[in-house]
Amino acid sequence: MGCFTFIKVMMILFNLAIFLGGGTLLGVGIWVKIDANSFLDIFGTLSSSVMQVVNVSYFLIVIGAILLVIGFLGCCGAQKESKCLLMMFFSVVLIIFIAEIAAAVVALVYAGLAETLLVAVVTPLLKEKYGEDKSFTDIWNVTMIEVRCCGLTNYTNFNNSTWLEKHETYPPPCCNNKEPCDAMLAAQSNVTGCLDRIVEEIRTNGGVVGGVAAGIAALEVASLAVSMYLYCHLDQK
């Protein structure tokens, strides 16, 4: 088996795995979207509410569709030795790779600004919808209980909120589930905001996140190199 044939076979097998994985994710995403209750009955609620699962379904559908396209182009391009399909595969992977680099740069450069904008957008929602919108309230309750946090930055996010006006107390997680959770007890409890807690978790697991990102980037670069190799050597075969 020559070098060209070996690389072609590896390209087909690799992209076939991507195609099957994408199809699986797409199928699960559609299933969760159509029948979230059945999904929860089988796999358990864990720490998710139904609304969170529905949001995850869109993510699974998008990622699954992208992987399906990439896997199809790569597998068929290598099998049929089609320059057109190989170039399309190369272009799609290159666009995704560039987008990931751009997103990483923006996240590093504008992290502080993004946090400020997030606080400015979410805080009014907490004041207005927490305690009024059931799905919104359930998601925040699950988040605050599981992550052991309060509000986005701290308990003051609930000042002048609909919840505080109606119940005259802060949500129990803001006082480590001690009641009545008034302003004095909330201040003494000093429960960290959910944003700070999540950022802390990300930094703690930064090595794992970085390793996964580096691995994905390496696979993308390898895919670009292999597809370009096949493209350039088709005429020399």
At 157 the pLDDT is 92
Q: Which helix (H) or strand (E) holds 220?
A: helix 206-233
Do the Cβ atoms of 229 and 3 come closer than 8 Å?
Answer: no
Give the global pTM.
0.63
At 51 the pLDDT is 44
At 49 the pLDDT is 45
Per residue of the chain (237 residues), give pLDDT as tens.
Answer: 578 788 888 888 888 888 888 888 888 888 777 776 665 555 554 434 444 444 667 777 888 898 899 999 988 888 888 889 889 999 999 998 998 888 878 777 776 776 777 788 888 888 988 988 888 888 888 888 888 899 888 999 999 998 989 888 999 999 998 888 999 999 999 999 988 887 777 777 667 767 777 888 888 888 888 888 888 887 665
At 47 the pLDDT is 39
Q: Is 4 exposed, middle or buried (0-12, 13-18, 19+ CB in 10 A)?
A: middle
* Number of helices followed by number of strands (H, E) in the chain: 10, 0
Rg (CA), the chain: 24
Domain ranges of the chain: 3-109+227-233, 130-198
Sign of CA dihedral 200, 202, 208, 211: negative
d(CA 151, CA 144): 7
At 48 the pLDDT is 46
